[in-house]
Structure 1
Amino acid sequence: MSQKARVLVGALTRETPYFKQAHGEGITVFEFDEDGGTLSRQYCQTGIDNPSFIAFDATHSHIYVTTEVFGWNEGTLSAYALSADGRLRYINKQVTGGSITTHTGLDRSGSFAFAVNYSHEAWEGFAEEIPGHAMAVFPLQADGGLEPPISMVKHQGQGPVPIRQTCPHPHCAVASPDNRFVIVTDLGTDRIHSYRFRNGRLSVDGAPPPLQLEPGSGPRHFIFAPSGDRAYAINELGGTIAYLGYDAETGAFELRQTVSTLPDGYAELNNCSELQLSPDGRFLYGANRGHNSLARFAVDPQSGRLTPLGQTPTGGEWPRNFTLSPSGRHVLVANQNSDSLTIFRRDEKTGALTQTDSIAIGTPMVVKAYAI
């Protein structure tokens, strides 16, 4: 019997001045054949504006989806039940306490959902930063629905890059492996924050100072290594990946290595987006928007340090997001500006990627997969 997975793709449905286009319909659900490397479209969930990021619960029975709409003072986080056949059923939504909601995830207990708000400045149409929260925490109801937020935080500061770093721009929130801290990256201030996390509430009491990265780095997304004492952050503006040591007791990070995602001599516009580790932790991948490639790195099993192994073209423009299939044998890439989802076969021994297919889908923003 072939191994199957389900793939969900969120796509831009509403015009936004900082995105090139909006050709999407909503959240499209596919079945993926791991043996053949083929996608079969099942259906599309409409009725949601700009679903820009998706998170599953541990049982894949619910998903949580951000709505990122320019001009709203507050974005929203929506909850859906996910049936065994891949159908979605809307439960409810909550406002997120800030605008341009760009990321969501769950804590390790599965009791709380996070929403991260990118915009903290007076865009055209925004007179003030109201309410201007960096992120919010939502308790989950028994049916998977969202309660109103019980904890929110604000950030301050800026970085040296004009336009992109005139104020804070939080981009990602991840719970620590022991669930004692929540890690929040801030692209606008070049900082990685560790917040104490107790009963769904965030606090700086007992938390370390934020880790300050190189000015102009712009940390975007963040992942822990399987060991729990290491982590990696992809820097959107700097075109780099930061390898970090992590102290689980204090929640503090130290910068151990910074490596480029780009080939030597590349000087054109590039904004990094997503990063992923292979299931065995031996390879790390990072997406380049502009160079339109996935950078590949070998991970030293002892030290955690990265060795660059080159870049693979993504077969489309502006790879905003990508995911490894549940088996780790394939990579699926959402090419935002070319309205395409490309499929790559992954060599599990070398980490090398070979494109095998590409399908048309309007303005894909996020792609997620799980085994069925």
Structure 2
Amino acid sequence: MNKLFISLSILLLPAVVMAQKKDKLATPKVYDLLIGGYTNPDGNVGISVYRFYAETGRTSFLSEVKTASPTFICVSPDRKFVYSVNAIPDGSVSAFSFDYNTGLLKFINKQPSVGRNPAHITIDKEAKNVIVSNYGNGTLSVLPINKDGSLAPATQTIIGEGTSINPQRQAGPHIHSAIFSPDEKHVLYADLGTDKISIAKYKAGKVPALTPEDVAVEKVKPGSGPRIFDFSPDGRFLYLINEMGATVNCYSYEKGKIKFIDSVGLASPGFTGSSSAADVHLTPDGRFLYATNRGTANELVVYSVDQATGKLTNVIRYPTGKEPRNFVIDPSGNFLMLASQLSDSVQIYKIDKLTGILIPINSMISIPTPTVLKLVSAE
């Protein structure tokens, strides 16, 4: 009997191992939803954490931590730390420890962002550095991360240069965001003030970490105001949303080089109001792209993506709350969560994966002036 048991165990072992691997690759069902935004004495105090249940789309409040105007945040790959910009004139960056089981955030330290009014922050996969985009005076700063998760002072600051055609908004550089290439060998950053995408080589362990590429700049149509990016899941295409022009540009991407393919407008035909594009994301399968447009448009626009060419075709547009900003799509591709800054709310939609169409569900978070959302697995 013992021999039979041992033999069966040996035969079943590969199946057990495969099951364990599948479980590790399974999409989480429970998340922490982190919400940041502009702070004020009568409302938002900093970063709030909600539990998000991916089977139902329901949420529940967990915790909050005080910090000044965390309008953009990022989370370390191991989920143990959260970093936020402090979008104030004397810009800074804050570090927090994070318990994803309870949703509890604890302040660790703060460093100058070496710029004014920082608008964006991102972290590399090795958690070596955060890169901060300072909108106010157009600088890009690299801040190393210490072993305890705290931030060290900036080791590199790139100063943007130039102007563009809009004297009110483009009299100088305004770096709005930066994104790592899929292999993290490059960083691309968008300068709204100069209508440029800049490309730099990235080496996490070196100082300075960023060095300009041979062809370091890609210009966009004057007056477009490039704002923020997203890569297609396979890394072949890069999508840029232009705030002032309210357009989405599509580029091919390969080894630190981009090539313009096409551009589509966000506003509906005949629209005569004001537009101010804000955010762009693709679904996990890369079949659909979503983009937000503020101003008097206040819309979330859906496009289908040609998988061969990367080109976009409009599917449908949805009215939203006032000032739709950042949004997130959960890793399963089933839900989209949208922060409407001036409506003081986060709306949750169910995604039809076949059509890209959104279905609002009866689950809304009321929270003052939200501008950024991040989903973190709580499992």
TM-score (norm 1): 0.89
More helix by share: 2
Q: Is the 8 A contact 1:5 1:326 kept in 2?
A: no
Q: Deviations over 1:51-110 (max 9, x none)?
A: 11010111211111000014x2xx111111111311011111110111011100012332
The answer on 1:82 being equivalent to 2:98 is yes
Which of 106, 112, 115 is equivalent to 1:98?
A: 115
* Equivalence map 1:107-122=2 (5 Å): 107-120=124-137
Alpha-carbon separation, structure 2, partners of 1:330 and 1:165 = 36
Alignment partner, residue 278 of structure 1 = 283
Which of 222, 236, 245 is equivalent to 2:243?
A: 236
Q: Aligned to 2:60, what secondary structure does the other structure show?
A: strand
Alignment partner, residue 295 of structure 1 = 301
Alpha-carbon separation, structure 2, partners of 1:205 and 1:223 = 21
**What is the CA distance between 1:306 and its match in structure 2?**
1.1
Q: Is the 8 A contact 2:64 2:105 kept in 1?
A: no
Q: Aligned to 2:214, what secondary structure does the other structure show?
A: coil
**Residue ranges of structure 1 left out of the alignment (5+ in a row):** 16-21, 121-132
Amino acid at match of 1:147: A
Amino acid at match of 2:220: L
Which of 27, 32, 35 is equivalent to 2:52?
A: 32
The answer on 1:252 being equivalent to 2:257 is yes
* Equivalence map 1:1-16=2 (5 Å): 3-14=29-40
Q: Is the 8 A contact 1:340 1:358 kept in 2?
A: yes
Q: Is the 8 A contact 1:14 1:69 kept in 2?
A: no
Aligned length: 347
Q: Deviations over 1:148-181 (max 9, x none)?
A: 1111101111111231111111000111122221
Q: Deviations over 1:256-277 (max 9, x none)?
A: 1000112111121111111111
Between structure 1 and structure 2, the one with the greater Rg is: 2
TM-score (norm 2): 0.88
Distance 1:134 1:263, change over 3 A: same
Amino acid at match of 1:78: S
Which of 326, 332, 350 is equivalent to 2:331?
A: 326
Alignment partner, residue 124 of structure 1 = none
Alpha-carbon separation, structure 1, partners of 2:350 and 2:213 = 45
The answer on 1:169 being equivalent to 2:183 is no
Alignment partner, residue 372 of structure 2 = 366
Q: Is the 8 A contact 1:26 1:50 kept in 2?
A: yes
Q: Is the 8 A contact 1:320 1:336 kept in 2?
A: yes
Distance 1:213 1:136, change over 3 A: same
Q: Is the 8 A contact 1:184 1:192 kept in 2?
A: yes
Q: Deviations over 1:200-236 (max 9, x none)?
A: 5254454313100001111100112222232000000
Alpha-carbon separation, structure 2, partners of 1:241 and 1:93 = 34
Alpha-carbon separation, structure 1, partners of 2:160 and 2:118 = 15
Alignment partner, residue 62 of structure 1 = 81
Identity value in percent: 33
Alpha-carbon separation, structure 2, partners of 1:363 and 1:227 = 34
**Residue ranges of structure 2 left out of the alignment (5+ in a row):** 1-27
Alignment partner, residue 227 of structure 1 = 234
Alpha-carbon separation, structure 1, partners of 2:188 and 2:168 = 25
Amino acid at match of 2:247: T
Amino acid at match of 2:94: S
Amino acid at match of 1:209: A
TM superposition outliers: structure 1 runs of 4+ over 6 Å: none
Q: Is the 8 A contact 1:322 1:331 kept in 2?
A: yes
**What is the CA distance between 1:135 and its match in structure 2?**
0.8
Alpha-carbon separation, structure 2, partners of 1:179 and 1:331 = 26
Amino acid at match of 2:375: A
Amino acid at match of 1:66: V
**What is the CA distance between 1:38 and its match in structure 2?**
1.1
Question: Greater shift after overlay, 339-348 or 197-206?
Answer: 197-206
Q: Deviations over 1:111-168 (max 9, x none)?
A: 1111110012xxxxxxxxxxxx611111111111111111110111111123111111
**What is the CA distance between 1:358 and its match in structure 2?**
2.3
Q: Is the 8 A contact 1:112 1:200 kept in 2?
A: no
The answer on 1:217 being equivalent to 2:243 is no
Distance 1:8 1:205, change over 3 A: closer
Q: Is the 8 A contact 1:101 1:115 kept in 2?
A: yes
Distance 1:205 1:340, change over 3 A: closer
Alignment partner, residue 129 of structure 1 = none
